[in-house]
Amino acid sequence: EAQVTQNPRYLITVTGKKLTVTCSQNMNHEYMSWYRQDPGLGLRQIYYSMNVEVTDKGDVPEGYKVSRKEKRNFPLILESPSPNQTSLYFCASSPPTGENSPLHFGNGTRLTVT
C-alpha cells in the first residue's frame, strides 16, 4: 500500500533532549516536506526537499534540522527541543512539482516538550 509513515505517533520529551521524528515513503517520490500544525495557525512548512541531498527552509525552520540521504527517508531532527515546539507534525511527499503531484501526508506525530 502506498503510504507515508511517521514514527512515533506520540512523543513526550523534556527541554533540551535531542530527538528525531522519522518519515518514510514507499512511492519513490522526489519531493518531501515537514509541516507543523498549531491551533489557529493552520499548517506551516518547516523544511522541504526536492530530492536526495537537496533541502530548503520553509516558513518556520528555526530549531529544526532535516536530512535527505536516501530518497525514501526524510527525518526531522530537534537538536535541543523547547516547549514552543510542542505541536502536531506532518510529513508529506509527492512526485516532482507538476500537474499531477498531490501531496500524500503521514498520520502525524504529536510532540509534547515539557
Partner 1 sequence: DAKTTQPTSMDCAEGRAANLPCNHSTISGNEYVYWYRQIHSQGPQYIIHGLKNNETNEMASLIITEDRKSSTLILPHATLRDTAVYYCIVRVGPGSARQLTFGSGTQLTVLP
52 touches partner 1 by CB under 8 A: no
Strand partners, 66: 76
64 touches partner 1 by CB under 8 A: no
With contact defined as beta carbons under 8 Å apart, do 21 and 76 qualify?
yes
With contact defined as beta carbons under 8 Å apart, do 113 and 48 qualify?
no
73 touches partner 1 by CB under 8 A: no
35 touches partner 1 by CB under 8 A: yes
The stretch among 14-22, 63-71, 77-85, 98-106 that binds partner 1 (CB under 8 A) is 98-106
97 touches partner 1 by CB under 8 A: yes
For the CB of residue 1, give the shortest distance to partner 1 in the complex, in Å: 14
The grid coordinates listed for 11 are: 512523543
| 90/86 Cα distance (integer angstroms) | 13
* Nearest CB to partner 1, comparing residues 55 and 85: 55
For 90, which DSSP code?
E
Question: Can you say whether the dihedral through the CA atoms of 77, 83, 85, 88 is positive or negative?
Answer: positive
Interaction site with partner 1 (CB under 8 A): 4, 31, 33, 35, 37, 40-45, 48, 50, 56-59, 88, 90, 92, 96-99, 101-108, 110
